[in-house]
Chain A
Amino acid sequence: MPIDTREVEKIAELAHLKFDPQELERFVGHFQQILEYFTQLETVSTGAVSTENVQYAHQAVEGKNRATPMREDEVRSSLPVATALDNAPESSEDHFQVPPVIE
């Protein structure tokens, strides 16, 4: 299915990205080419096939059930606030600082 500039702009909005007109033009071309290649997937018959993930392959191998591994809900120490703020572009007191959200 063809994709146009407007559609790409809409996706960019969802992804919190922006492109200048030249970038956008190049992008649409590549996007189109890649999506065309993906159309080969339509030819594969996948009626009743499951979408089960491989993430728990090791459990499958061992014949265990695939429930999400759980741990005890115990209070544990976490990163000290000052350390967590070390890489912040802007911070104030014990907080990350961002542009005003409320007028």
Chain B
Amino acid sequence: MSEIHHLSIKQLRDLIQRRDASVTEITESFLNRIRQCDDKIKAFLTVEEEPALAQAAQLDRQLASGESKNGLLTGIPLAIKDNIVTQGVRTTCASRILENYIPPYDATVMSRLKESGAILLGKTNCDEFAMGSSTENSAFFPTRNPWDLERVPGGSSGGSAAAVAVGEAPGALGSDTGGSIRQPAAFCGTVGLKPTYGRVSRYGLVAFASSLDQIGPVGNSVSDVALLLQAIAGSDPQDSTSAARPVEDYLGEIDQEVKGLKIGVPKEWFGSGLDGQIEQSLRAAIKKLEGLGCSLLEVSMPQTEYAISTYYVIAPAEASSNLARYDGVRYGHRSADQTDLDSMFKSTRSEGFGEEVKRRIMIGTYVLSAGYYDAYFIKASKVRTLLRNDYHEAFKKVDLLVGPTTPSLPFKIGEKKTDPLEMYLMDIYTVTANLAGIPGLSLPCGFSQEGLPIGLQIQAPYFQEARLLNLAHTLEQELAVQKQELAV
């Protein structure tokens, strides 16, 4: 048997069910791995060592006495991105402004994981308020890519993806506003899913851009991601944008036949901006789909070139409004540099927010301000509709779309940090799914010559997660990507 920390969630469940390992042994194994690697990877902002072990011991007692409910995730330790609130456990959003914030409630996804029997291992690093594509915008420290410690893990859910890749946790939750689950999943060689807008409750996800944000799972296999989605999906009275639609049996449908599926390959996604090694790896993987009996069809997504502009008008506009709540009154940092209420607000926000967060608040305030609202915000909202129409047209012809997750391989720490626009352009293949509200998944499809992971993205129509996971799982088995040596 390979080491516990390299087992899948599915394998861990089997161990627990057969009593071949106790929940305490499993939890210890991941905590050990964190002790062993996290000095180098820096994936965690908070590790809940004692509470995790206490919960594990309790579950072991319940399992021994037969009192344990047969939860979907009984005894599985998980890592949670630090912008998802956890009752009694510090939740910082990787921001100084929330450095000491202890939430008085659980996000709905946390309540659901707890009901499923999962154990909270700790909270993972991210770009501050999920704004970034490299985890370098964390106010505390950058996270490192487990395949090359000099490189970024992607972002904003870089801590979650790195922790899963290196075996510090068998699975994790992240959030995806413009690619923040899929891009780090691609950079770290893990599977990451952004569900349909409304599939998973956003209650307790610290708001960045409310029409784009969605919580989703990160795992080492498609079946683990399916299992995690099963646990967290569904309607929630606390989130009026959550869908009432019943949740499908994702694991049950994962092995369906994919023969006959029509797969679209958008020509605009293979343009000049795409790295040659990524293109080569994708083309090889797409060819395998034909071998599986799928038919390939070239489709067109003409608005792709406007996606970054559209996204970087709309997301900051929503962020500028959502982040108005950080004023030093009810929670979070309050500046000592103040003479009156107004100066207290300004000093608090200026000290508490990092550079990228301030930049997005400023862009958002600008595009919503009198005189610019129509030219930017309304214009971008219209282009967003056109982009949705692109998807609508494409999905009349095909069942699913495939393409790259990222235009480049994981870049060096510091390489793009001084050029915000260059960093924004990293999101070109992911933001479109958020703007349209559809689901997207990143699947490892190979490694570059330098030993860096490459991700392939599959997108599906609204609420077609079952079919999306089905194709991803089948392709995953067919590709059988040989993992290279981790850097730790």
* Chain A interface residues (CB < 8 Å from chain B): 8, 11-12, 14-19, 23, 27, 30-31, 33-35, 37-38, 40-42, 44, 46, 49-58, 60-62, 68-69, 71, 79, 83-84, 86-90, 96, 98-101
Contacts and interface: CB of A to CB of B under 8 A. Distances in A.
A14 B207 CA distance: 20
B421 interface: yes
Nearest to A59: B243
B362 A41 contact: no
Contact of A41 (B333, B361, B379): B379
Given A15-B361, A54-B435, A89-B333, A37 B309 contact: yes
A6 B26 CA distance: 58
Interface of B: 100-102, 104-105, 196-198, 210-211, 237, 240-241, 243-245, 303, 305-306, 308-310, 312-313, 320, 324, 327-334, 338-342, 344-347, 349-350, 353, 355, 358-359, 361-363, 365-366, 369, 375-376, 378-386, 388, 420-421, 424, 435-437, 462-463
14 contacts: A15-B365, A27-B358, A34-B312, A35-B366, A38-B312, A41-B313, A46-B379, A46-B386, A54-B197, A55-B197, A55-B211, A55-B241, A71-B237, A87-B330
A46 B334 contact: no
A52 B392 CA distance: 15
Nearest to B305: A40
Contacts, number: 169
Main secondary structure of the interface of B (DSSP, over half): helix
B211 A98 contact: no
A69 B345 contact: no
Contacts of B358: 17, 19, 27
A40 B306 contact: yes
A11 B324 CA distance: 14
A52 to B, nearest CB: 6
A50 B376 contact: no
A69 B339 CA distance: 43
Contacts of B198: 55-58
B376 to A, nearest CB: 6
A18 B197 contact: no
A80 to B, nearest CB: 9
A62 B245 contact: yes
Contacts of A15: 320, 349, 361-362, 365
B102 A86 contact: yes
A31 B367 CA distance: 12
A54 B365 contact: no
Contact of B365 (A14, A23, A53): A14
Given A53-B381, A57-B197, A83-B104, 4 more contacts: A8-B362, A14-B365, A15-B361, A68-B240
